[in-house]
């Protein structure tokens, strides 16, 4: 099939866009309002966008508390959402009023960052502490109504890692078993059963690709 994504005339029961752009990491955004109410919410439009310096982004349909809090306080956190915390993560996604503390609602322990005054999930294997940089309002967004699509960027100024997940000097992603978002209401898990390591390719003297070898421990 081939369809016009502007008209979205796919004729399927649900829009397949997010099922095609998958998997997507889950940004479990922790923040606090100006009045001191803690907020926690998962965003599947999330990713790292730079490592020199470290920047992350999360995107939202309509203005949510995470955006408001980040813009008003200048800080937020990102906790790693993992398989062992799925029910907690899913619980924190509930639509709740701005005076509800989703940490408490989802049965999680908030821990204030060392570098920013925003809470992250203490039970998570890792968390990023971020200073708010800017929000980009997508075309058609209307802040007066709180509608539209918005992307928030944050500068990562601190990192928390539970040392249980450091192995041979590396963060053991497979042991942490991060959750990923697929299409519809589907999720996945990154674990040792579905990960592998390879070196990046090199060219031989004739300019042809050489056979890719297993990772030799040198990060390229």
The CA distance from 209 to 91, in Å, is 48
Q: Are 154 and 76 in contact (CB under 8 A)?
A: yes
The model's pLDDT over 64-98, given as tens digits with 9 standing for 90+, comes to 999 999 999 999 999 999 999 999 999 999 999 99
Q: What is the pLDDT of residue 218?
A: 83
Maximum CA pair distance of the chain?
Answer: 65
Of 81, 67, 62, nearest in space to 33 by CA:
67
The yes-or-no verdict on residue 220 having pLDDT over 80 is no
Q: What is the pLDDT of residue 28?
A: 98
Domains and CATH numbers, the chain: 22-169 (2.30.110.10)
The model's pLDDT over 139-195, given as tens digits with 9 standing for 90+, comes to 999 999 999 999 999 999 999 999 999 999 999 999 999 999 999 999 999 999 999
The model's pLDDT over 182-204, given as tens digits with 9 standing for 90+, comes to 999 999 999 999 999 999 999 99
The CA distance from 147 to 137, in Å, is 10
Mind spelling out the 3-state secondary structure of the chain?
CCCCCCCCCCCCCCCCHHHHCCCEECEEEEEECCCCCEEEEEECCEEEEEECCEEEEEEEECCCHHHHHHHHHCEEEEEECEHHHHHHHHHCCCCCCCCCCHHHHCCCCEEECCCCCCEEECCCCEEEEEEEEEEEECCCCECCCCECEEEEEEEEEEEEECHHHEECCEECHHHHCEEEECCCCCEEECCHHHCCCECCCCECCCCCECCCCECCCCCC
Q: Are 106 and 67 in contact (CB under 8 A)?
A: no
Q: What is the pLDDT of residue 85?
A: 98
Q: Retrieve residue 178's tokens.
A: 């991060």
pTM for the whole structure: 0.95
| pLDDT bucket at 215, cuts 50 / 70 / 90 | confident
The CA distance from 75 to 154, in Å, is 8
Q: What is the pLDDT of residue 213?
A: 86
| pLDDT bucket at 216, cuts 50 / 70 / 90 | confident
Q: What single DSSP character describes residue 203?
A: B
The model's pLDDT over 34-70, given as tens digits with 9 standing for 90+, comes to 999 999 999 999 999 999 999 999 999 999 999 999 9
Helices assigned H by DSSP within the chain: 17-20, 65-73, 86-91, 102-105, 173-176
């Amino acid at each position: 099939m081939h369809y016009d994504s502007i008209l979205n005339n796919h004729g399927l029961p649900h829009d397949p866009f997010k099922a095609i752009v998958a998997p997507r990491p889950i940004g479990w955004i922790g923040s606090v309002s100006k009045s001191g109410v803690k907020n926690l919410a998962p965003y599947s439009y999330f990713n790292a966008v730079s490592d020199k310096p470290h920047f992350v982004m999360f995107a939202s349909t309509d203005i949510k508390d995470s955006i408001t809090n980040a813009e008003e306080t200048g800080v937020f956190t990102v906790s790693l959402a993992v398989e062992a915390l799925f029910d907690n993560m899913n619980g924190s996604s509930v639509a709740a009023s701005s005076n509800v503390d989703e940490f408490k609602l989802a049965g999680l322990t908030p821990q204030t960052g060392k570098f920013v005054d925003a809470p992250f999930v203490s039970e998570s294997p890792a968390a990023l502490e971020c200073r708010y940089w800017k929000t980009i309002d997508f075309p058609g967004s209307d802040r007066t109504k709180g509608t539209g699509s918005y992307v928030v960027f944050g500068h990562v100024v601190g990192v928390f890692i539970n040392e249980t997940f450091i192995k041979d000097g590396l963060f053991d992603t497979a042991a942490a078993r991060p959750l990923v978002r697929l299409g519809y209401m589907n999720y996945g898990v990154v674990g040792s059963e579905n990960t592998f390591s390879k070196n990046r390719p090199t060219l031989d003297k004739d300019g042809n690709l050489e056979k890719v070898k297993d990772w030799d421990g040198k990060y390229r």
